[in-house]
Amino acid sequence: MVGYIFPGQGAQFEGMASDLLLSDQAVKLFDEAREILGFDIAEIMKSGSGEDLKETKVTQPAVFLHSVIKARLAGDQFKPDFVAGHSLGEFSALTAAGALSFEDGLSLVSKRAIAMQKACELEQSTMAAILGLEDQVVEDICNGIDELVVPANYNCPGQLVISGSMAGIQKAVDQCTEAGARRALILNVGGAFHSPLMEPAREDLEKAINVSNINQPSVPVFQNVDGKPQSDPAIIKENLIKQLTAPVLWTQTMQNMISAGVESFVEVGGTGKVLIGLVKKVDRKIPCEVL
Domain with CATH 3.30.70.250 in the chain: 125-186
Residue 259 is among the residues annotated as catalytic for this protein: no
pLDDT at 55: 83
Which pLDDT band holds residue 9 (cuts at 50, 70, 90)? Answer: confident
93-107, 138-152, 182-196, 246-260: segment of lowest average pLDDT: 182-196
Given a contact cutoff of 8 angstroms between Cβ atoms, the answer to whether 163 and 125 are in contact is yes
Given a contact cutoff of 8 angstroms between Cβ atoms, the answer to whether 9 and 63 are in contact is yes
CATH class given for the domain over 125-186: alpha beta
β-pairing, 2-6 vs 149-156, is: unpaired
Domain with CATH 3.40.366.10 in the chain: 2-121+196-290
Distance CA 240, CA 136 (A): 26
Nearest to 206 by CA among 247, 241, 244, 234: 241
**Overall average pLDDT of the 224-250 stretch:** 96
Q: What is the pTM of this model?
A: 0.94
Given a contact cutoff of 8 angstroms between Cβ atoms, the answer to whether 152 and 172 are in contact is no
Which pLDDT band holds residue 97 (cuts at 50, 70, 90)? Answer: very high
Among the options 86, 163, 165, 194, which is catalytic?
194
Distance CA 180, CA 202 (A): 35
β-pairing, 221-222 vs 229-230, is: antiparallel
What is the residue type of 161? V
53-95 residue pLDDT tens: 888 789 999 999 999 999 999 999 999 999 999 999 999 999 9
Distance CA 16, CA 44 (A): 9
Residue 87 is among the residues annotated as catalytic for this protein: yes
Given a contact cutoff of 8 angstroms between Cβ atoms, the answer to whether 100 and 214 are in contact is yes
**Mean of all residue pLDDT scores within the chain:** 94
| CATH tag, 2-121+196-290 | 3.40.366.10
Among the options 66, 67, 86, 87, which is catalytic?
87
Q: How far is CA 266 from CA 18, 83, 262, 276, 289, in A?
A: 21, 9, 11, 8, 5
18-40 residue pLDDT tens: 999 999 999 999 999 999 999 99
* Residues making up the chain, counted from first to last: 291
